[in-house]
C-alpha cells in the first residue's frame, strides 16, 4: 500500500470504483481506493441493477444518460462483463392522476432528448405479453432503460481504474482521518497511514461513520428494501425476447425479467429504517431478515396486471439495506468548511448515477468546478439543521411514497417544521400555507377563511390560484407584505472588502456609501455562480443578498479566494430575517414607522441605509422590490421579526395592506422578467446568454471569470434568455417544458405563472440561438401544445416607472 496519494477514496462499492476509474482516466494517477472488506460489500452487491436515461430535471437526465450509455463502452474497454440488458421500460398508469403525471414525464423527456412514446393496448401486449392491458389506463414506453449486473459493473470500473494507474486495497478499514495544518490528510488504517491531499468519502452504508472521523456531519439514514425473484414461469420461457422493465407507480412496484422468471421490487409503506444510530462494522455481504408480509398488498396488485406472477413460485426474497439522504438524492462534492474533504454518498439509483458521479467529481477535482449545475446532488444543499429527527422523518416519507404522484409545487410536510422565525405562529394564524427553504418555514400563500389552508394537489390550476391572484392585485393596488427571511444574507467587511468584492463580482461595486449594485458572480470558466444585490453601508462594510438555499454553496466558493487578512465574510442567512413591502402605498406605510425621511428624493431606487423602523433600531433598509412595484426590503436580526410584523400590520390596516406569499412574489417577478437563482440563473449559463451583458464591467480590471466572459461576449451564444406570453386555459407550465417550432424543440421554459396583474400566462426560459422564426412557437403543457409569443419587454410596467417612483 502506498504511503502518499493525491486522492484517497474510502469505499469500494460501485460509486467509489467509478470515482477511481474516472479520476485515473482524467490524469490523476496517484489514486488509492481503500475498501474495508471486499468490493461491492454493503448495498452494491444486492442491488436490482436498474438503469435508465430519464432523471426528471434536464441535468439529472444528462447524468443518468451518461451512466446508461457508459456500460457497453466500459465492458468493451475492460473485457469485464457488465451484464447490460438494454430492454426499455414500460410505465403504466391506473388512475387519471397518474396519467397526468405521465403526460408531464413525456413532455419533460422530449425537452431533454429522451425518447418516450405512448403504447396502445395492442402495442403493450406486443412488448409485454404477460400483462393484462385491461388493468391499466395508459402505458408509456422509454427505450433508454435496462438493467446491469451490479458486481460486474463494479469490477469493470475497478479493472479500468487499475489499468489507468489507480491502486485498490482490500481488507483495509479506515480507522482515523486527521487533517494536517496544511489542510492535507492522514488516513490511518491497520496497514499503515497514507498522507493524502484529498479524501473522498464514498463509504456507502458507513458514510456517516467515516464522516464522523473527520468531524463531518452527513444527513443520511439506512432503510430496508425488499425485492423477490420467482422461479421460472412458463409464459416467460415461451417468449423469444426479454421483457422490458415494468413500473407500476400506483401499485408501487417495479418488475423485470430475471432469467426465465420475474424480479419484483417494492418501496414499501410504511418505511422501515435500519441501523439508525450507526451501521454495524461487521456487516458486509449479509442480508436482513425477510418481512415479505410488508409487500403482500403490492404483490397482489402486481398479479392483477401480470397474472402469471400469481402462479409462480418464489425462489428467493432479498431484504437489504440502502442509505439515503432526506430527498433521496446523492450528497456529492467538497464538504463546506472542511478543506479537501469530498463526499459521494447516499446514492439511491446507483446504476443510473454512479458512473456520472465519477465523471462529475473527476472534472470538479481537475478543473475546480463541475461540468454543469449539480446542486440537486450537492452536499452543500444541507446544513446541520437537517438533524436526525428530520432525516428519519424525511427519508421515511420519501421512501414510502417513492412512486407517489409528485406535484411540481408540492411542499412535503414530513419532518417539518425544523426552523421558524418568531413571526411564524402569527403568520400561520393569518392563514399562511407554508413551505420550507433550507429548513426555514416561509409563507407560500394565504388562505382566505372560506378556503382550506392546504395545497390542493393537481397539475392544473390549484386551489391557491385565486388567493394568489388576490395577493398580486392587492400588492399592486395598496401594499403587499412578504416575508423574505429565506433570502441569503451575507456581511463582507474589512479594509480589503471593496477590493475583494471587485475581484469576485463581475459588475462594478458601489463607489459611495448608500449605493446598491446588482451583479453576477462568475466561475473561472465564466459560468454563473451567483446573482447578488451588493449594498454598501460603509467603505469597509457591505451587505449581500441572494439565494438562501445557496448559502453554503457560496461560502464554500468564497473560502478559496479569501486573503489571510483584511476581509471577513459572515453569513447572516440564519441569524437575520426580513420583510418586503411593495406597492403604491409602501412609502406611506414605511413613513408611519420611522422618523427618517424616506421620500424618493432622499431614498431613491437602489439605495440603502441603516434605519430605525417601529420597534427595531437596527434594520437595514434597501430601496428594492422583486415585485416590480415601488418597494423596500427590510433586513433585521431574527429577534425583531415578530415585533416588526405586528407594527407593519397595525400601521398598514387602512392602507390596503395585503399579506402575500412567495407564490405571488414568483408570479410578479415573472411578469417583470426577473430571473431566479437555480431556475433562470445557474452554473449552466454564462452571463451573456442569461441576458446579463449590461452587468459585466470589463473596464474595471480583472475579476474572476473575466477572460471567459469576454470570450462569451465575442462568440455567438448557444441560446438566449427569453420572456414569453403563453395562451393557457386551466393549466400553466410548471417549468422544464419544451418550446417547439413545428416538430423541433427550440427552447425550454424555466418558470411560468399566470400574471394576475396583466391577465395572462407569462413565462421565462431560453430559446436556441438558431431557433429561427419566433412566429410559430408553442409550449407543450400536459400533452397540449399552446401558442407562445416572445416578449421584447416585460409584461408589467415595461419602462420600470412604478419601482422607481
pLDDT digits (tens, 9 = 90+) for 343-365: 999 999 889 999 999 999 999 99
Average pLDDT in the 599-609 region? 97
| Confidence at residue 686, expressed as pLDDT on a 0 to 100 scale | 97
Count the alpha carbons within 13 Å of 148 in the hemisphere toward its beta carbon: 32
State the pLDDT confidence band at 770, using cuts at 50, 70 and 90. Answer: confident
If you average pLDDT over residues 382-400, what whole number do you get?
A: 97
Report the pLDDT value the prediction gives residue 331, as an integer from 0 to 100: 98
Neighbours of 291 (CB within 10 A): 13
The mean of the pLDDT values for the chain is 96
Task: Pick the closest to residue 90 from 58, 126, 59, 57 (CA basis).
Answer: 126
Residue with cell 390560484: 465
Q: Which three cell numbers stand for residue 599?
A: 421620500
pLDDT of residue 550: 98
Q: Is the pLDDT of residue 773 over 80?
A: no
Strands (E), 158-231: 167-169, 176-179, 185-189, 192-201, 221-230
Distances (CA, A) of 357 to 51, 70, 79, 370: 14, 12, 22, 10
- Long-range contacts of 788-791, Cβ-Cβ distance < 8 Å, separation of 24 or more: 788/724, 788/725, 788/726, 788/727, 788/739, 788/763, 789/724, 789/725, 789/726, 790/722, 790/723, 790/724, 791/673, 791/722, 791/723, 791/724, 791/725, 791/762
**pLDDT at 511 (0 to 100):** 96
* Residue that wins the pLDDT comparison between 105 and 406: 105
Gap between the Cα atoms of 544 and 425, Å rounded: 28
Residue 489 has pLDDT above 90, yes or no: yes
pLDDT of residue 459: 93
Amino acid 775: pLDDT: 78
Q: What is the pLDDT of residue 783?
A: 86
Q: Which three cell numbers stand for residue 375?
A: 446542486
Q: How far apart are CA 446 and CA 539, in angstroms?
A: 41
DSSP string, 367-389: HSS-SS--GGGBGGG--TTS-HH
pLDDT at residue 56, as a whole number? 84
| CA-to-CA separations, 690 to 60, 674, 767, in angstroms, rounded | 21, 11, 11
Q: What is the pLDDT of residue 599?
A: 97
On the question of pLDDT at 681 being above 80, the answer is: yes
The predicted structure's pLDDT at residue 406: 83
Task: List pLDDT tens digits, range 138-164.
Answer: 999 999 999 999 999 999 999 999 999
Per-residue pLDDT of 319-349, as tens digits, reads 999 999 999 999 999 999 999 999 999 999 8
- Residue 284: band (very low, low, confident or very high) from pLDDT cuts 50, 70, 90: confident
pLDDT at residue 29, as a whole number: 83
Separation of alpha carbons 392 and 221, rounded Å: 7
Q: What is the percent of the chain where pLDDT is above 90?
A: 95
pLDDT in tens, 554-579: 999 999 999 999 999 999 999 999 99
What would the mean pLDDT of 402-409 be, rounded to a whole number?
88
Query: Do the beta carbons of residue 150 and residue 351 sit within 8 Å?
Result: yes
Give the three cell numbers for residue 135.
388493468
Whose CA is closest to 476, among 171, 145, 755, 191?
Answer: 755
Which pLDDT score, from 0 to 100, does residue 774 have?
A: 75
Identify the pLDDT of residue 369. Answer: 96
Residues 756, 476: contact at Cβ < 8 Å?
no
What's the rounded Cα separation, in Å, for the pair 440 and 551? 13
pLDDT bucket at 771, cuts 50 / 70 / 90: confident
Q: How confident is the model at residue 404 (pLDDT cuts 50, 70, 90)?
A: confident
The pTM (predicted TM-score) of the whole model is 0.96
Tens-place pLDDT, residues 576-593? 999 999 999 999 999 999
Q: Which residues lie closer than 8 Å to 758 by C-beta, 6 or more apart? A: 671, 795, 796
Round to whole Å and give the CA distance between 432 and 430: 6
Give mean pLDDT, residues 62-89: 97
The pLDDT confidence band at residue 795, using thresholds 50, 70 and 90, is very high
Integer CA distances (angstroms), 652 to 36, 213, 425, 632, in order: 64, 54, 20, 14
In the predicted model, what is the mean pLDDT of residues 505-510? 98
**Cβ neighbour number for residue 272 with a 10 Å cutoff:** 19
Q: Which of 472, 431, 460, 485 is nearest to 644 (CA)?
A: 485
Place of cell 425583531: 640
**Which grid cell sits at 494?**
474589512
Q: Among 77-81, 108-112, 167-171, 367-371, where is mean pLDDT lowest?
A: 108-112
Determine phi and psi for 321, rounding to 5 degrees. -85, 145
Q: What is the pLDDT of residue 562?
A: 97
- For the cut 80, the answer to whether the pLDDT of residue 772 exceeds it is no
Report which DSSP code applies to 283: -
Euclidean distance between the first and the last CA atom of the chain, given in angstroms as a whole number: 70
List the Cα angle 245/246/252 in 5-degree steps: 130
Residue 385's pLDDT is what? 97
d(CA 758, CA 617): 38
| DSSP-derived secondary structure for 397-439 | HHHHTTTS---TT----TT--SB--TTHHHHHHTTEEEEEETT
- The single residue listed with the C-alpha cell 408589467 is 796
Going from the C-alpha of 507 to that of each of 361, 401, 511, 704, the distances in angstroms are 30, 45, 12, 11
pLDDT average, residue stretch 74-100: 96
Nearest to 245 by CA among 329, 354, 140, 111: 140
What's the pLDDT score for residue 144? 96
Confidence of residue 6 (pLDDT cuts 50, 70, 90): very high
Distance, CA of 12 to CA of 34 (rounded, Å): 7
User: How does residue 60 score in pLDDT terms, banded at 50, 70 and 90?
Assistant: very high
CA distance 775 to 510: 41
User: Taking residues 119-124, what's their average pLDDT?
Assistant: 97
Amino acid at each position: 500500500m502506498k504511503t502518499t496519494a493525491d486522492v484517497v477514496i474510502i469505499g469500494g462499492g460501485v460509486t467509489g470504483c467509478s470515482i477511481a476509474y474516472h479520476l485515473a482516466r482524467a490524469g490523476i494517477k496517484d489514486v488509492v481506493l481503500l475498501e474495508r472488506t471486499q468490493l461491492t460489500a454493503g448495498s452494491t452487491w444486492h442491488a436490482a441493477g436498474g438503469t435508465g436515461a430519464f432523471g426528471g430535471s434536464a441535468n439529472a437526465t444528462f447524468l443518468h444518460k451518461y451512466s446508461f450509455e457508459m456500460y457497453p463502452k466500459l465492458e468493451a474497454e475492460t473485457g469485464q462483463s457488465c451484464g447490460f440488458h438494454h430492454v426499455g421500460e414500460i410505465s403504466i398508469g391506473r388512475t387519471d392522476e397518474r396519467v397526468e403525471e405521465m403526460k408531464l414525464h413525456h413532455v419533460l423527456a422530449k425537452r431533454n432528448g429522451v425518447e418516450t412514446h405512448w403504447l396502445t393496448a395492442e402495442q403493450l401486449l406486443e412488448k409485454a405479453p404477460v400483462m393484462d392491458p385491461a388493468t391499466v389506463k395508459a402505458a408509456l414506453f422509454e427505450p433508454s432503460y435496462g438493467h446491469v449486473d451490479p458486481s460486474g459493473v463494479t469490477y469493470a470500473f475497478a479493472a479500468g481504474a487499475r489499468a489507468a494507474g489507480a491502486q485498490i486495497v482490500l481488507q483495509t478499514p479506515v480507522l482515523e482521518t486527521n487533517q494536517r495544518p496544511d489542510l492535507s490528510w492522514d488516513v490511518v488504517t491497520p496497514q499503515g497511514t497514507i498522507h493524502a491531499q484529498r479524501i473522498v468519502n464514498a463509504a456507502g452504508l458507513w458514510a456517516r461513520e467515516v464522516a464522523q472521523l473527520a468531524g463531518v456531519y452527513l444527513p443520511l439514514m439506512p432503510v430496508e428494501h425488499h425485492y423477490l425473484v420467482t422461479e421460472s414461469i412458463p409464459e416467460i420461457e415461451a417468449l423469444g425476447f426479454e421483457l422490458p422493465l415494468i413500473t407500476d407507480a400506483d401499485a408501487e412496484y417495479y418488475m423485470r425479467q430475471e432469467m426465465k422468471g420475474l424480479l419484483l421490487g417494492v418501496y414499501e409503506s410504511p418505511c422501515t429504517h435500519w441501523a439508525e444510530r450507526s451501521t454495524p462494522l461487521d456487516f458486509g455481504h449479509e442480508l436482513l431478515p425477510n418481512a415479505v408480509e410488508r409487500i403482500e398488498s403490492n404483490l397482489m396488485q402486481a398479479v392483477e396486471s401480470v397474472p402469471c406472477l400469481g402462479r409462480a413460485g418464489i425462489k428467493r426474497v432479498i431484504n437489504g439495506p440502502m442509505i439515503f439522504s432526506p430527498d433521496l438524492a446523492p450528497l456529492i462534492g467538497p464538504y463546506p468548511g472542511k478543506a479537501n474533504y469530498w463526499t459521494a454518498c447516499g446514492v439511491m439509483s446507483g446504476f443510473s448515477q454512479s458512473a456520472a458521479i465519477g465523471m462529475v467529481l473527476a472534472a470538479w477535482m481537475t478543473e475546480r468546478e463541475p461540468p454543469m449545475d449539480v446542486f440537486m446532488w450537492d452536499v452543500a444543499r444541507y446544513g446541520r439543521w437537517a438533524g436526525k429527527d428530520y432525516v428519519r422523518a424525511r427519508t421515511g416519507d420519501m421512501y414510502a411514497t417513492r412512486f407517489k404522484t409528485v406535484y411540481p409545487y408540492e411542499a412535503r410536510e414530513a419532518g417539518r417544521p425544523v426552523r421558524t422565525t418568531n413571526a411564524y405562529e402569527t403568520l400561520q394564524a393569518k392563514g399562511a400555507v407554508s413551505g420550507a427553504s433550507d429548513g426555514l418555514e416561509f409563507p407560500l400563500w394565504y388562505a382566505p377563511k372560506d378556503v382550506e389552508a392546504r395545497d390542493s394537489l393537481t397539475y392544473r390550476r390549484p386551489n391557491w390560484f385565486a388567493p394568489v391572484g388576490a395577493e398580486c392585485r392587492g400588492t399592486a393596488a395598496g401594499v403587499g407584505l412578504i416575508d423574505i427571511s429565506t433570502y441569503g444574507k451575507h456581511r463582507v467587511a474589512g479594509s480589503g472588502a471593496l477590493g475583494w468584492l471587485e475581484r469576485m463580482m463581475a459588475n462594478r461595486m458601489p463607489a459611495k456609501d448608500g449605493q446598491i449594485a446588482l451583479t453576477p458572480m462568475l466561475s473561472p470558466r465564466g459560468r454563473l455562480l451567483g446573482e447578488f444585490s451588493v449594498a454598501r453601508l460603509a467603505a469597509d462594510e457591505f451587505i449581500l443578498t441572494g439565494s438562501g438555499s445557496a448559502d453554503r454553496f457560496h461560502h464554500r466558493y468564497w473560502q478559496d479566494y479569501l486573503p489571510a487578512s483584511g476581509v471577513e465574510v459572515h453569513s447572516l442567512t440564519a441569524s437575520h430575517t426580513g420583510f418586503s413591502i411593495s406597492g403604491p402605498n409602501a412609502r406611506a406605510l414605511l413613513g408611519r414607522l420611522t422618523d427618517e425621511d424616506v421620500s424618493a428624493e432622499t431614498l431613491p431606487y437602489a439605495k440603502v441605509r441603516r434605519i430605525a423602523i417601529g420597534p427595531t433600531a437596527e434594520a437595514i433598509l434597501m430601496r428594492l422590490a422583486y415585485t416590480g412595484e415601488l418597494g423596500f426590503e427590510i433586513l433585521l436580526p431574527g429577534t425583531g421579526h415578530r415585533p416588526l410584523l405586528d407594527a407593519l400590520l397595525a400601521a398598514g390596516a387602512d392602507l390596503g395592506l395585503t399579506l402575500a406569499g412567495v407564490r405571488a412574489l414568483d408570479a410578479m417577478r415573472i411578469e417583470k422578467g426577473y430571473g431566479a437563482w437555480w431556475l433562470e440563473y445557474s452554473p449552466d449559463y454564462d452571463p451573456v446568454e442569461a441576458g446579463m451583458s449590461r452587468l459585466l464591467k470589463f473596464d474595471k480590471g480583472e475579476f474572476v471569470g473575466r477572460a471567459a466572459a469576454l470570450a462569451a461576449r465575442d462568440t455567438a451564444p448557444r441560446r438566449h434568455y427569453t420572456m414569453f406570453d403563453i395562451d393557457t386555459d386551466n393549466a400553466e407550465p410548471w417549468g422544464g417544458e419544451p418550446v417547439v417550432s413545428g416538430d423541433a424543440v427550440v427552447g425550454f421554459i424555466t418558470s411560468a405563472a399566470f400574471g394576475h396583474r396583466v391577465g395572462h400566462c407569462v413565462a421565462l426560459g431560453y430559446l436556441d440561438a438558431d431557433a429561427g422564426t419566433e412566429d410559430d412557437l408553442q409550449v407543450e403543457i400536459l400533452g397540449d401544445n399552446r401558442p407562445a409569443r416572445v416578449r421584447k419587454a416585460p409584461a408589467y410596467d415595461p419602462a420600470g416607472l412604478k419601482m422607481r417612483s
